[in-house]
Amino acid sequence: MKILVVGGNFAGATAALELKRKLKDQVEVTLIDRNENFVYIPSLIWVPIKRREVNEIIVPRRPVLEKKGVKFVLDTAIKVEPDENKVYCEKGVYEYDHLIIATGPKVNFDIAPGVKENTCYIGTPPGAMHTREKLEEFKRNPGPIVIGATQNAGCMGAAYEFLFNVEKWLREENIRKKVDLYWITPEPYLGHFGIDGMPLGEAMLKKFMDMFNIKYVTNVGVKEALEDRIVLSNGQEIKSNFTMLMPPFIGVDFVANSPKLETPPNNFIPILDNYRHEKIKNIWGAGLAVNVQAPFSGTDIPFTIPKTGYPSDETGKIVAENIIRTIKGKTKLVEKPWGKITGLCIMDAGKKEVIIFSDTLFKPRKFAIMLPNVLFDINKIILEKYFLWKLKKGYSFLP
């Protein structure tokens, strides 16, 4: 039995390792990724301000996977042909009995003119390092800063974290008084996060904004990003010497090049609640590659849900379990839609933190809480160390 996994970060690595751990020699598990290393993406917010170096938050994939019996292939997947049960890559063609697509997303920098050319992005190691360079240049010519998210974005949390870290960095560099700091967001209110908010979330973030003297504009998109200013959808212009925006995510080229997957226009994988493709029984989606409907509607400026590491890890486990059940001839599969996964996040706020926890990511919820820790972001650091340790050891079965 051949199981092929395309994509090797949270979801893909977890699924591959769990399948091999539970089925052992019954399956041949191969993971394909175009990058040699796993990246702990949540810590990229610290790279621009030099709190982390990239080499501190990466783990080489090959030794971890192959030690656990998973074959690692360094290659770029081009397309899948479901009728042939084959994935075509730049360097070869790979057959499968079951395929897991866990590619993560592609960033749509074309969401507005100038976003690609005139703003920074912190979601990749090269992007984080480019942002570091721009901040170093900014120190020599301080002025207004704009941080936020564009229309259709879904990862507001990371942008919020970067905002508060930059505010802290400005104080440490003794240039805070020279900087007007702005937050822009498509959210109708602070702390919506694409999950329709959390109890006391809006009030807490307003307090943070007031405490740190951050000006904010909600319910806006980006019309154009120029070298020295941002033009908003409401006609407002904000001058900016440094801009970091979170654009929207869309599906990767591998998926876009595979028309038989019948994806929606965003090129994410259409899945059932058990993460099996809606129409193709031996193709599964996991992590950020899956299509998830937002649980809210009617906002003036479009935006969508967050797709973060914890749900990605969970979907990897669900997919692994359901493939195992399918191989064993069982018909009852685990069903847990994205919005029913536990909401667990620790939002860094510049050496402070907010712990966000709820029984489900989307409403209705039975339990939801936001707990601020204004002393130190110790839990954020513990979570980072835990996930890096877990990955280095290949302990995919752990939470």
**Alpha carbon distance 243, 121 (integer Å):** 9
Do 368 and 359 touch, CB atoms closer than 8 A? yes
Do 152 and 303 touch, CB atoms closer than 8 A? yes
Return the amino acid letter for 282. N
pLDDT for the residue numbered 49: 97
Task: Please name the residues in contact with 336: beta carbons below 8 A apart, sequence gap of 6 or more.
Answer: 273, 314, 318
pLDDT for the residue numbered 164: 96
Give the closest residue to 348 by CA, choosing from 162, 69, 146, 219.
162
Return the amino acid letter for 303. F
Determine the length of the chain.
399
Q: Name the burial class of residue 151, with classes exposed (0-12), middle (13-18) and buried (19+) by CB atoms within 10 angstroms of its CB.
A: buried
**Alpha carbon distance 324, 328 (integer Å):** 6
Strands 249-251 and 105-107: antiparallel
pLDDT digit of tens for each residue in the chain (399 aa)?
999 999 999 999 999 999 999 999 999 999 999 999 999 999 999 999 999 999 999 999 999 999 999 999 999 999 999 999 999 999 999 999 999 999 999 999 999 999 999 999 999 999 999 999 999 999 999 999 999 999 999 989 999 999 999 999 999 999 999 999 999 999 999 999 999 999 989 999 999 999 999 999 999 999 999 999 999 999 999 999 999 999 999 999 999 999 999 999 999 999 999 999 999 999 999 999 999 998 888 889 999 999 888 899 999 999 999 999 999 999 999 999 999 999 989 999 998 999 999 999 999 999 999 998 888 999 999 999 999 999 999 999 998
Task: Please name the residues in contact with 366: beta carbons below 8 A apart, sequence gap of 6 or more.
Answer: 359, 360
The token duo for 10 is 């949270």
Query: How far does Cα 306 stand from its chain's mean position?
Result: 7
Return the amino acid letter for 313. D
pTM of the full structure: 0.95
Q: Which CATH superfamily is domain 2-106+250-338 in?
A: FAD/NAD(P)-binding domain (3.50.50.60)
SS3 readout for 246-304: ECCEEECHHHHCCHHHCCCCCCCECECCCCEECCCCCEEECHHHECCCCCCCCCCCCCC
pLDDT for the residue numbered 28: 98
Task: Return the domain boundaries, the chain.
Answer: 2-106+250-338, 109-248
> DSSP letter string over 183-202?
EE-SSSSTT-TTTT--TTHH
**Alpha carbon distance 320, 337 (integer Å):** 15
Strands 98-101 and 145-149: unpaired
pLDDT for the residue numbered 295: 86
**Alpha carbon distance 145, 133 (integer Å):** 15
pLDDT for the residue numbered 310: 87
pLDDT for the residue numbered 116: 97
Query: What is the torsion angle, in degrees rounded to the nearest 10, for the CA atoms of residue 135, residue 143, residue 226 and residue 150?
Result: 70
**Which residues does residue 4 pair with via DSSP β-bridges, in sequence order?**
30, 99
Give yes or no on whether 2-106+250-338 and 109-248 have one common fold. Answer: yes
Q: Which CATH superfamily is domain 109-248 in?
A: FAD/NAD(P)-binding domain (3.50.50.60)
pLDDT for the residue numbered 133: 98
Strands 2-6 and 28-33: parallel
pLDDT for the residue numbered 298: 81
Return the amino acid letter for 347. M
